[in-house]
A and B are shown apart, each in its own frame.
Chain A
């Protein structure tokens, strides 16, 4: 289980996460949504053990998250460029060198599935192609916690479908998958739970199946309504103060 207890993060006095509590249970896919700067990526970085300066506690499998936690955590950062001299084949070698749970055959299959050349240098690839390599390398790990930060960024429609299929094909038993994305309507079908965030806080969360049944609309539409109402209220409040 991934536990976040009263986690707060500040960047130069600016709050990115404000006293966040959340327990992520194994066997589920969580969708993390919210506007830019709401704290999604920061939550992912805390969970991946990359942020060292934060308040509160983050536990993975009952232990405080540290460098060694990365043995069982696969993290796909938003904007990692990767070493430009590498080819997808080199990436596979790098991952199998440093991650004992990396499945090289699976990775090779994913690279082929996405139509990428394994001998092309990362430096000469397009943004979308690099994004596909990153997703393949992350998903080819047999990790217990998979953190995907904007996995569909810069990827064409067909590629997005391929990635959705790859996420769907992951055996979820005993695993937690957390996906942060602006394109939640593309990922709603693969998620079990949705967590909506704003200004570093969880403002709404729930089981996607139950929410759909309860409100008779997609979670993406619920998301649009919630944020529309929230911003309307903020604007009105602002105008009244003025």
Chain B
């Protein structure tokens, strides 16, 4: 496992570090705008704009870490890959790819949260965002230790499990596409179709469960959970569903790769 992770780090370490640096650069940009905030309307808008961009990106980049295992897997099952020519167990190789993506996601998530906290402190000290009433972000609430902690933890856990879930769902879609066709171009199109279909099936199951159990209120809570809702039950359902789906897709993807897909094709 250590050798596999080391190999993955050699392959995608630069990408992971670039993502971390990207977050830091955006945070610095937002920080500079906040620091040089004045009463002029242009800077005010810029500050708010940079802050919003940062908040969006800091949620998206940790989730985007799922791309790393997906690319790694699709390269390895093609003729460009080497890993599946080795006697390494496919079960182990796939779990290692997902673990690497999850680790990257976790690091980026922690970095994002730490930088957000830093920017929030700066913004509160400068009073740049609140003073004009441009936004309703309750900084006082955010600084209360309990809410900040629970928000951080839920956002972290959701982000990390969502990375595993997304990566495995797309990897399963790629495996299904490779099982169905051997043509590379058709495989790409079919992978997109299968990912969409798998997502659709997941949503249908979720809606069915919420309707049958008469818990439709969770429908909104769970989708909110992706953005780090502090609602414990919603977060728990999101995390559990991520883990269950990740397990199902892991089994599907590994089974197809081991038994059904022609490798190095």
Binding site for B on A (CB under 8 A): 11-12, 45, 48, 50-53, 67-71, 75, 77, 79-83, 85-86, 90, 94, 97-99
Contact = CB atoms under 8 A, between A and B. Distances in A.
11 contacts: A11-B182, A12-B183, A50-B85, A50-B263, A52-B262, A67-B87, A68-B87, A69-B87, A71-B87, A77-B85, A83-B80
B182 A98 contact: no
B88 interface: yes
Interface in B81-127: 82-90
Interface of B: 3, 6-7, 10-11, 79-80, 82-90, 182-183, 258-265
Given A12-B182, A77-B264, A83 B87 contact: no
Contacts, number: 66
A23 B79 CA distance: 27
Given A70-B87, A77-B85, A99-B87, A85 B261 contact: no
Given A71-B87, A97-B7, A98-B3, A80 B80 contact: yes
A13 to B, nearest CB: 11
B255 to A, nearest CB: 11
Contact of B11 (A71, A81, A85): A85
A75 B260 contact: no
A80 B79 contact: yes
Contacts of A11: 182
Given A50-B263, A50-B264, A52-B261, A70 B86 contact: yes
Given A11-B182, A70-B85, A94-B82, A80 B90 contact: no
Contact of A98 (B88, B90, B262): B88
A52 B87 contact: no
Given A67-B258, A70-B85, 13 more contacts: A51-B262, A52-B258, A52-B260, A52-B262, A68-B87, A70-B87, A79-B79, A80-B79, A80-B80, A81-B79, A86-B10, A94-B7, A97-B6
A83 B84 CA distance: 13
A52 B259 contact: yes
B82 A80 contact: yes
B86 A98 contact: yes
A109 to B, nearest CB: 22
A11 B82 CA distance: 23
A70 B260 CA distance: 17
B85 to A, nearest CB: 6
B11 A98 contact: no
Contacts of A86: 10
B262 A45 contact: yes
B80 A81 contact: yes
A171 to B, nearest CB: 22
A168 B212 CA distance: 71
Counting chain B CB atoms within 10 Å of each CB, the highest count among A45, A75, A79, A97 belongs to A97
Nearest to A90: B10
A94 B11 CA distance: 12
Contacts of B10: 85-86, 90
